[in-house]
Amino acid sequence: MSELHFLNEELDKLKSDDLYRSMRTLTSGQGPLVEIDGRLVVCLCSNNYLGLAERKELRLAAIEAAKKYGTGAGASRLISGNLSLHEELEEELASFKGSEAALVFPTGYMANLGTICALVEKEDLVIGDRLNHASIIDACRLSGATFRVYPHKDMEALERILLRSREFRRRLIVTDAVFSMDGDVAPLREIVELAVKHVAILMVDEAHGMGVLGENGRGASEELGVEDRIDVNMGTLSKAAGCHGGYVSGRRELIELLKNKARTFIYTTGMSPPVCGAAMAALQIIRDEPDLRQRLKENSQLVRRSLGYGDAEIPTPIIPVVVGEASAATELSAFLLESGTMLPAIRPPTVPVGTSRLRVSVMATHTREQLKGACKQIKEGLTRFGSL
């Protein structure tokens, strides 16, 4: 027997546990409707919250950038891959976030990985919420720092950790601003207070807040009025901005340190020019069209109400429908696709065991009819396949 027989064993185990993952193939671009197997279905699972991924302005900006700079940056930024376009985007991001400087990474995942590993190491402590995104968790582990986790949004537990860890050289608290699988918002005011009181560094991941929350779309930290109290602001250009890439913003020395120490910045090719151009167009729209955020909020509340949940205090576009068992979530998801709604099952290890779910995510460009129809199907599916 080949030493590779473990591949089949592992795959069979995933299948028998209902945890096997496979991809659906889209034959259209991103939008409120997408084409699968020759059929248009309502897409209720995209992070393209503002519908920017299909906007003409972004497409044209990508084309223009490709015409001027070509398709690839050709090298890492520190070698010959640093284009004026990258610097313009970073200036725009810094100005958007109201911070001194910003740095772009090829993905949000890499922004978290490179930044956390540049800020803490063996002598240090990194503290995170239990439901933080996988890229943060991986970064905390890889950094070599001591890693402590507090139960979701449990501020007493966070303070206990801070009180008992004064021996460390540096302490970094890191949290999602909007939790990616639950759609709730971190208690940033309380976290800021604890960080200040106990002299810890604070990093906030606005992957799902950027473009979505706050009067100007700067995220949950703007919505909660704590922007200037956060040391390390991280966000992505891959979700509401409809492009690709991650960024960190903050004071100039922070950005200088990242340029010198973040391995996911140093040892990778600069962002491709078309993506960079499109991201600038996205920032412009996020600035100029606040009504998109308003429509997204209304759509999010419509779905919450239609599913029988109360209005959320801060209505994010992420609405989890927790089913429980992985098998039930998979069956419900298959039923929904058959009925015309794309909504894949989210299972462990993405979410804790026993909390498999459908993660509804709403777009500003969904019509009310699309959302109402999909909610009706979800409710019908829940009565058939059971909820917790």
CA distance 43 to 47: 10
Listed in sequence order, the residues at least 6 apart from 27 whose beta carbon sits closer than 8 Å to its beta carbon are: 35, 36, 38
Q: CB 382 → ligand PLP: shortest distance, Å? A: 25
Structure tokens, 80: 């010959």
User: Which residues on neighbouring strands pair with residue 42, listed in sequence order?
Assistant: 33, 341
Task: Show the site string, 37-66: x = touches ligand PLP by CB under 6 A, - = not.
Answer: ------------------------------
Of residues 77, 148, 171, 208, which one binds ligand PLP by CB under 6 A?
A: 208
CA distance 284 to 372: 31
- Closest CB to ligand PLP among residues 67, 141: 141
Q: Report how many residues bind ligand PLP under the rule CB under 6 A.
A: 14
- To the query of whether residue 180 is one of the catalytic residues in this protein, the response is yes
Listed in sequence order, the residues at least 6 apart from 22 whose beta carbon sits closer than 8 Å to its beta carbon are: none
Q: Is 176 in the site for ligand PLP (CB under 6 A)?
A: yes
Q: Which of 286, 287, 292, 285 is nearest to 57 (CA)?
A: 285
- To the query of whether residue 239 is one of the catalytic residues in this protein, the response is yes
Q: CB 369 → ligand PLP: shortest distance, Å? A: 29
Of residues 99, 107, 175, 221, which one binds ligand PLP by CB under 6 A?
A: 107
Residues 228-267 that bind ligand PLP (CB under 6 A): 236, 238, 246
Task: Show the site string, 177-196: x = touches ligand PLP by CB under 6 A, - = not.
Answer: ---x----------------
- To the query of whether residue 22 is one of the catalytic residues in this protein, the response is no
In DSSP notation, 274-321 reads HHHHHHHHHHHHHHH-HHHHHHHHHHHHHHHHHTTPPPPSS--SEEEE
- Closest CB to ligand PLP among residues 133, 153: 133
Residues 291-330 that bind ligand PLP (CB under 6 A): none
Q: Which of 213, 289, 238 is nearest to 104 (CA)?
A: 238
Q: Which of 133, 313, 128 is nearest to 208 (CA)?
A: 133
Decide: helix, strand or coil at residue 235: strand
8 A C-beta contact, residue 230 and residue 173: no
Of residues 133, 171, 357, 366, which one binds ligand PLP by CB under 6 A?
A: 133
Of residues 48, 99, 115, 135, which one binds ligand PLP by CB under 6 A?
A: 135
From 135, 143, 180, 249, active-site residue: 180
- Closest CB to ligand PLP among residues 345, 382: 345
Query: What is the binding site for ligand PLP (CB under 6 A)?
Result: 107-109, 112, 133, 135, 176, 180, 205, 207-208, 236, 238, 246
Catalytic residues: 180, 208, 239
